[in-house]
Structure 1
Amino acid sequence: MNDTLYTSFLLVAAVFLALGFLIMTFRILVGPNSLDRMIGLDGFIAMLQCALAVYICWTLDTTIANAMLVIALLGFISSISVARFRKRDGN
C-alpha cells in the first residue's frame, strides 16, 4: 500500500475519533441521568482503545498494547460495579 494513502486513512480515522470524543464528552457532561453518563464513559473508553490502536498503526510501536489491556480491564470493572450498585436517580 502506498504510504501516502495509508497515512491518509489513518488521518481520517483520527479525525472521526476526535469528533467521537467530543460527542461522548458532551454525553458524559450533559447526560440526563447516571446511566447515560456511564454509557458515555463506556463509549469513551472504547474510543480511547481505538485511538491507541490507530496510534499503534501510525507509529508501528506496540509498547502501548499493555496500556490498552489495562484500560479495557478498568472499563469492564467500572461498568460491572456501576451496574451492580446503581440506585435509581431521584430517590
Structure 2
Amino acid sequence: MIATACLIALIATSVAILLNLYRLAIGPDVTDRILALDTMVINAIGLIVLLGIYYGTTIYFEAAMLIAMVGFVTTVAFCKYLLRGNVIE
C-alpha cells in the first residue's frame, strides 16, 4: 500500500517539477524565474524524501537536508544579487 502511494506521489512531484521547468523557461521576469527555481528545489527535496520512503533507507533524508540548505543559500544569494548587484559586500 505504501509503495503505491509513493509511486503516485512520485508521479505528482515529477509533474510539478516539469511545470516548474516551464515557468523557468517562460517566466516574464527574473523574479518569476527565481521563484520557479526555489519551488523546483522544494519539489526536488520532496522527490528525494519520497524515494527514501520508497526504498526504506535513511541516506536520502540526509541528502534532502543538504539540498535544502544549499537551496536556501542560493535563493538568498540570487535575491541579494537582484537587490544590490553583488553578493559579497
TM bucket by the smaller chain? 0.7 to 0.9
- How many aligned residue pairs are there? 83
Q: Give ranges in structure 2 of 5+ residues lacking alignment.
A: 84-89
Aligned partner of 1:33 in structure 2 is 29
- For structure 1, which runs of at least 5 residues remain unmatched after alignment? none
Correspondences of 1:7-86 after superposition (within 5 Å): 7-86=3-82
Give the greater-gyration-radius structure (CA): 1
SS at match of 2:44: helix
Does 43-52 or 59-68 show the bigger shift?
A: 59-68
Scaled by the length of structure 2, what TM-score is found?
0.86
Shift of 1:85: 1.8
C-alpha distance in structure 2 between counterparts of 1:85 and 1:8, whole Å: 43
Name the Cα RMSD after superposition. 1.1
- Give the TM-score normalised by the residue count of structure 1: 0.85
What secondary structure is seen at the aligned counterpart in 1 of 2:61? helix
User: What is the deviation of 1:52?
Assistant: 0.5
CA distance in 1, matches of 2:5, 2:16: 17
Structure 1 range deviating more: 36-45 or 57-66: 57-66
